[in-house]
Chains A and B, each alone.
Chain A
Amino acid sequence: AQSVTQLDSQVPVFEEAPVELRCNYSSSVSVYLFWYVQYPNQGLQLLLKYLSGSTLVKGINGFEAEFNKSQTSFHLRKPSVHISDTAEYFCAVSQYGGSQGNLIFGKGTKLSVKP
Chain B
Amino acid sequence: DAGVIQSPRHEVTEMGQEVTLRCKPISGHDYLFWYRQTMMRGLELLIYFNNNVPIDDSGMPEDRFSAKMPNASFSTLKIQPSEPRDSAVYFCASNRGIDGELFFGEGSRLTVL
- Residue ranges of A at the interface with B (Cβ–Cβ < 8 Å): 32, 34, 36, 42-46, 49, 51, 90, 92-95, 98-103, 105, 107-108
Nearest-neighbor residue (CB-CB) of A102 within chain B: B48
Given contacts A43-B106, A102-B33, contact A90 B101 (CB under 8 A): no
Q: Which of B30, B42, B48, B100 contacts A94 (CB 8 A)?
A: B100
Query: Which chain A positions have C-beta within 8 A of B98?
Result: 101
Nearest-neighbor residue (CB-CB) of A99 within chain B: B97
A101 touches B104 (CB 8 A): no
Given contacts A90-B43, A108-B43, contact A32 B106 (CB under 8 A): no
For the complex, would chain A's binding face be called helix, strand, loop or mixed by DSSP majority?
strand
B91 touches A46 (CB 8 A): no
A43 touches B104 (CB 8 A): yes
For the complex, would chain B's binding face be called helix, strand, loop or mixed by DSSP majority?
strand
17 additional A-B pairs beyond A44-B93, A44-B102, A99-B97, beta carbons within 8 Å, are A32-B100, A34-B101, A43-B106, A44-B104, A46-B103, A90-B43, A94-B99, A94-B100, A100-B55, A101-B31, A101-B50, A101-B95, A102-B45, A102-B100, A103-B102, A105-B42, A108-B43
Nearest-neighbor residue (CB-CB) of A49 within chain B: B101
Q: Which of B58-113 contact A (CB under 8 A)?
A: 91, 93, 95-107
Q: Which of B43, B50, B96, B107 contacts A105 (CB 8 A)?
A: B43
Given contacts A44-B91, A94-B99, A102-B48, contact A108 B42 (CB under 8 A): yes
Given contacts A43-B107, A102-B48, contact A107 B97 (CB under 8 A): no
Q: How far is the CA of A42 from the CA of B48 in the complex (A)?
A: 21
Nearest-neighbor residue (CB-CB) of B45 within chain A: A102
Nearest-neighbor residue (CB-CB) of B98 within chain A: A101
Given contacts A90-B43, A107-B42, A108-B42, contact A101 B97 (CB under 8 A): yes
Q: Which of A42, A43, A103 contacts B100 (CB 8 A)?
A: A103
Query: Which chain A positions have C-beta within 8 A of B96?
Result: 101
Nearest-neighbor residue (CB-CB) of A108 within chain B: B42
